[in-house]
Structure formats: structure tokens, C-alpha cells
Amino acid sequence: MCSVGSLITLRRFLAVTPISHRLCFTPAFQIRPALFETNFSNPTTFFKAKTFAKMTDNKEDLKKKLTPLQYHVTQEKGTERPHTGEYDKFFEEGMYSCVVCGQELFSSKTKFDSGCGWPAFNDVLDQGLVKLSTDTSLAPRIRTEVQCAKCDAHMGHVFDDGPKPTGKRFCINSASINFGPKKAD
């Protein structure tokens, strides 16, 4: 470790900034609170910011917005019965978005008929749009849960038995997604 004196004598740098003792330290967010509240380059700031709160509705608002099945699936990590979902055998071109926040998550281009009873996709639009976590609710069977990264809504699960090129099968509840048809060119 070098001291200021050794840096000067080594002449490795053209100039050395003098170090002065400061008695009172004032964090930047106290000087310019508005800047701190809107600085989203810091993830901690982003998640504490008021704008993040707008992305998540409170439970009562969600119960009014969603059907009972949609609420059960997305907020209570439920699962719809197999072969009953609206999008299981649905193959029109378009995008699938989170039923809670509207974030587009899947494309019809990656949808395939897996025969499992739920809509299946072999990839997401972008890996950052979903959160994957370990689900031990059916122990000893361990699964990987898929959640919307924007609002934490439960989507379904992902398995390693899908088609190439990804080898993944995102098994998603119809109740957790909405479909938007492809826009005409």
C-alpha cells in the first residue's frame, strides 16, 4: 500500500490530489434528495423509488382487476387444471403478456404443443423479463418457478425437456397471461 508521500517521490503520476481532513460528511442524497430519488442506475434506489410502487397493485385492487382464477394463479402460486386453459391449444401469431402488469414475456414463435395441458414455450423474449427460483412445494420433487420480473406474478414452471435449440419447456398457466395478436404490417 502506498502513502501520499511515496506517490510523490515515485513520480508515477503527473499530479497528486492533496488529502484534507473533513469533519462533517454529508451524503449526496441529503444535499440533492430529488437526484437521489430518481437515480435508477442504483438498483437499491430503483426498488425504493415511488415509481416502482406504481408497478405493483395492492391485493384489493388486484382482486377487482383479476378473475378469481387469475388471482389464485398469479398471487397465490396456484395452478389451473391441465387442458382447461384458454391458450393451451391456441396458436395464433402474436405476443403473450403478464395478466397483472402487461409486460410482454413470450412470443407465439416459441410456442409449441407439448401435450402437457398448459401453454408451452421454449424461450422467453428476454431472460431479464422473468425470474427463476427453486420451488419445493411438491417436495421431494424440485421444480423451477417462473415469475414476471416486473410484478412478481407467478407464471408457471420451466423444465429441461423442451425442443431445440433451448431444450427448455416454459409451462405457463393460461390464467397468468394475455394474448395480443400480431399487428398487421
Would you name the residues annotated as active-site residues? 171
The amino acid at residue 67 is T
Residues constituting the chain: 185
> Comparing C-alpha atoms, which of 56, 171, 157 is closest to residue 121?
171
Lookup: cell for 108: 407465439
Using the CB atoms, write b or e for 121-131: b if 16+ within 10 Å.
bbbbbeeebbe
